[in-house]
Structure 1
Amino acid sequence: MINFELTNEIKSILTNIQSNKEDHSVAILENYSLVDFLIAIIQIHYTEGISSIEEIHKLIDMYNCHMNERIQEVYISLDDDHPLNIMKRENDTFINTLERMEEKLTIVASKKDSSMLEEDLKIIGALYAHYNRKEKLIFPILERKQVYTLPRKIWALDDDNRTTYHQFKNRLKRIDEIEFKHIRKSFDTLNKGMKQMILHEEDILIPLVQELFTAQECETIANESKAFGYAVDVKSVWSDKDKVYQTKEKKSEDKNQNIKIGGGYLTLKEAELILNNIPLELTFVDKNGLFKYFNEITESADMMFIRTPISIGRSVANCHPPKSLKKMMQVMRKLKNREQETVTMWFKKGEEYIYVTYKGVFDEKGEYQGILEYVQDIQPFLDLPSVVKRDI
């Protein structure tokens, strides 16, 4: 819930910051919780777009000074392998690497040789792992806690940085063909974008996560993080050593009872085994647009489209990057309205040739029940010899 009285107080302080006035009284903020303070900042910066992230950073510094604390510090765990400490370690690595690259750029320009940046590029390329973990593991939990604007806005900025990184990398490959100023411009944009993202994460996201997330939720994030990878060495999967979790009693399920399915009968166990052995990655979104199911034919890290349990129950609208959301919603509308039976796409990903199908699911009365996505690597089919093989 947004506290608009607090929001107005913060706007007044930000106006002083923007005017470079000396007297920035933040004493009034003592009357509010840190969560209220951060939610108000989200409203001001991300929803209303009133201030820059640099001005927000100055406000946070003033808040820290007055409160005699540093909200960017991870206090819930000193373990280097806690998900939030991993994020901060990665951010330190990104900053150090970007500064090292900036120092090298002059030499790269004079020698027309980008080889000295190869290792640095790999390190910066780990922004994909860093951003993916944030978007696929942290954002779903924020959404369950009714925080929606922050994830969407940060995801859009993540995509900008991904695009700029890709552009910079491609321009470096063409160093002999293009003017160096274009390479420099791409780097400057990437450098600024990544450093601004670190402010978004460390001034707002990490403090909010610390205030809202339970140790159990952090442990779930830690357990599912490996599938996406890291930008730093992670020695172990973090767990809450003091955990005493209350687990709901599960109703006993008879997995060996036959159920009428399709043209025959299967036990629940058999149905689960079949779904997990079909050579397709299956995902089902129900009629309410909620991500409800995915099969487990392989480990998450080896999936063509990585799925993790933490996203179950998430609105499909929040599962896609802002830049592709409109297109995805159009696909869903077409399938729901039966304008098309299926929608397909295909693309190369490393050695895989990925073929994706979206299909509307309807019951015997013709009522819409949801959308099934199935994904497969068709490269093995393309590699088949022309000679027919009938023998088994």
Structure 2
Amino acid sequence: MSERNERETERLAELQRIIRRLHAGEPPQQVKEQLRALLGQVSTEEIAAMEQTLMREGMAVEEIMGMCDLHHQVMAEMIAAAPQEVPAGHPVDTLRRENAALAARASELRTLLEALAAPTTGAPAAEEQALAARAALNDLMDVEKHYRRKENLIFPFLERHGISGPSKVMWGKHDEARALLKALERAWPAAGAPAGAWRALAEGPAARALSALEEMIAKEEHILIPMTLERFAPEEWGDIYRQSPEIGWCLVDPRGGYEPPPPAGGVPAYARSGGAEGSAASAAPGAVSDGVVLPTGSLSLEQLRALFDTLPVDITFVDAEDRVRFYSEGKRVFVRAPAIIGRLVHHCHPPKSVHIVEKILDDFRSGRQSAAEFWIEMRGRFIHIRYFALRDAGGRYLGTLEVTQDATGIRALQGERRLLAYE
């Protein structure tokens, strides 16, 4: 091992020891001073390597999430402060502008709640401030699109560069922020509530939700964005840019001026790289000129695509190696983006549900089970989710099919309809 590599290895080991001490309860200020003396500056690469090493050594994602805020507090000041410039309209430019808009709305909401909590606020002013505060909260709920673009686009490309630890931790922190924002929404006082109710909201649910939101903004600016700019090729940013409209934007629209480079060789990055985390690329089958021939008939590719787009269910196929290989387009219940193709399905779910996914796949692969189903209430809709094991004629496991359907209308049906009637 070269002298430089030995120094880097020792620095990483020392960094892990300090983070473990921090997690054990050592005062952050004391750890911060020791980090300064040791490093002077911590790179995003070292942070990613540290988190992944801790996971490999058996530390749970949830445990790393628990100390994520502490070690970010220590490290944020030590990461290069000057942000790398990108063209207007670049995906990073949009992420930063969304963060600025979210931070502004969070600050506005905090100020309005403090005013509402003041006992001297008159009724007319309080009513106006309450409406403005609710509008600010509604805007903050739009962060869902921001988080989904990270989860469905940024994280898959990080995995292609061999980085999965930070994205797992960050997804878990997304879910914490989501839960806190929903709790704030549920705790919102009724019209005409007294100042004490607003004070309780400001010091409790609002303080927790806004803190989680602002801490995530800081993590993106200090860690995630520099990490992606160091690693992603222009063609990868082009793919992210082209896939982003499917999910949407948070509070702001992309600025003009960015011209995404075309995919190398006309093939998107997710198709070029195959599976995530550096696995070998899978060769895509060439199009058959006379269509797809099956035992029960044949379809042109155009017909086949239209068929999948029109089905009243969402379909996602995971192969025998647990990698996502296909999903149907059209109107979906759960968002999908082409970047997930080739991705390990375990990385397509939040940390709290990964164990369920693994259980289903293990049971299907072993032959113990061949189907599983769930149903949930989501935003006033009744969602039915089913999983089926795919096997060949000899019983060999080929993969898992996920079928999701918004069954709200079906569930409400009564009686019979035997005559033609259009809705």
- Normalising TM by the smaller chain, what interval? 0.7 to 0.9
How far off is 1:269 after superposition? 4.7
Report the counterpart of residue 243 of structure 2 in structure 1.
224
Asked whether 1:125 is paired with 2:141, we answer: yes
How far off is 1:336 after superposition? 3.5
Listed as ranges, the matches of 1:67-78 within 5 Å are: 70-71=81-82, 73-75=83-85, 77-78=86-87
Assess if the C-alpha contact under 8 Å between 2:237 and 2:260 holds in 1. no
Residue among 123, 140, 150 paired with 1:134? 150
Asked whether 1:362 is paired with 2:372, we answer: no
- Provide closer, same or farther for how the CA distance between residues 91 and 387 of structure 1 changes in structure 2, counting only shifts above 3 A: same
How far off is 1:107 after superposition? 3.0
Residue among 170, 187, 190 paired with 1:154? 170
Q: Structure 2: how far apart are the matches of 1:213 and 1:311?
A: 16
How far off is 1:278 after superposition? 2.3
Assess if the C-alpha contact under 8 Å between 1:137 and 1:221 holds in 2. yes
How far off is 1:173 after superposition? 4.4
Residue among 331, 338, 344 paired with 1:315? 344
Aligned residues: 373
Unaligned ranges ≥5, structure 2 = 23-27, 273-283
**Residue type of the alignment partner of 1:18:** Q
Listed as ranges, the matches of 1:363-378 within 5 Å are: 363-378=392-407
How far off is 1:215 after superposition? 1.2
- Provide closer, same or farther for how the CA distance between residues 366 and 181 of structure 1 changes in structure 2, counting only shifts above 3 A: farther
SS of match in other structure, 1:220: helix
**Residue type of the alignment partner of 2:353:** S
Assess if the C-alpha contact under 8 Å between 1:87 and 1:130 holds in 2. yes
**Residue type of the alignment partner of 1:355:** H
Assess if the C-alpha contact under 8 Å between 2:189 and 2:198 holds in 1. no
Q: Percent identity?
A: 21
SS of match in other structure, 1:172: coil
Residue among 302, 312, 332 paired with 1:279? 312
Listed as ranges, the matches of 1:175-214 within 5 Å are: 176=193, 180=198, 182-183=200-201, 184-214=203-233
Assess if the C-alpha contact under 8 Å between 2:48 and 2:165 holds in 1. no
- Provide closer, same or farther for how the CA distance between residues 386 and 205 of structure 1 changes in structure 2, counting only shifts above 3 A: same
TM-score between both structures, scaled by the size of structure 1 = 0.81
Assess if the C-alpha contact under 8 Å between 1:18 and 1:55 holds in 2. no
- Provide closer, same or farther for how the CA distance between residues 325 and 22 of structure 1 changes in structure 2, counting only shifts above 3 A: closer
Assess if the C-alpha contact under 8 Å between 1:13 and 1:26 holds in 2. no
Residue among 11, 36, 54 paired with 1:6? 11
Q: Structure 1: how far apart are the matches of 2:287 and 2:34?
A: 67
Residue among 402, 409, 412 paired with 1:380? 409
SS of match in other structure, 1:246: helix
- Provide closer, same or farther for how the CA distance between residues 386 and 84 of structure 1 changes in structure 2, counting only shifts above 3 A: same
How far off is 1:251 after superposition? 7.8
How far off is 1:329 after superposition? 2.2
TM-score between both structures, scaled by the size of structure 2 = 0.76
How far off is 1:236 after superposition? 5.6
Q: Structure 2: how far apart are the matches of 1:90 and 1:273?
A: 35
Moved more, 115-124 or 265-274: 265-274
Q: Structure 2: how far apart are the matches of 1:153 and 1:305?
A: 21
How far off is 1:333 after superposition? 3.0
SS of match in other structure, 2:374: strand
Q: CA RMSD in A?
A: 3.6
Listed as ranges, the matches of 1:51-90 within 5 Å are: 52-60=71-79, 64=80, 70-71=81-82, 73-75=83-85, 77-79=86-88, 81-90=89-98
1:167-192 deviation line (CA, Å, top 9, x unaligned): 01100145859955652211111122
Report the counterpart of residue 67 of structure 1 in structure 2.
none
- Provide closer, same or farther for how the CA distance between residues 339 and 284 of structure 1 changes in structure 2, counting only shifts above 3 A: same
Assess if the C-alpha contact under 8 Å between 2:313 and 2:404 holds in 1. yes
Listed as ranges, the matches of 1:160-179 within 5 Å are: 160-173=176-189, 176=193
Unaligned ranges ≥5, structure 1 = 65-69
Asked whether 1:245 is paired with 2:256, we answer: no
**Residue type of the alignment partner of 2:332:** M
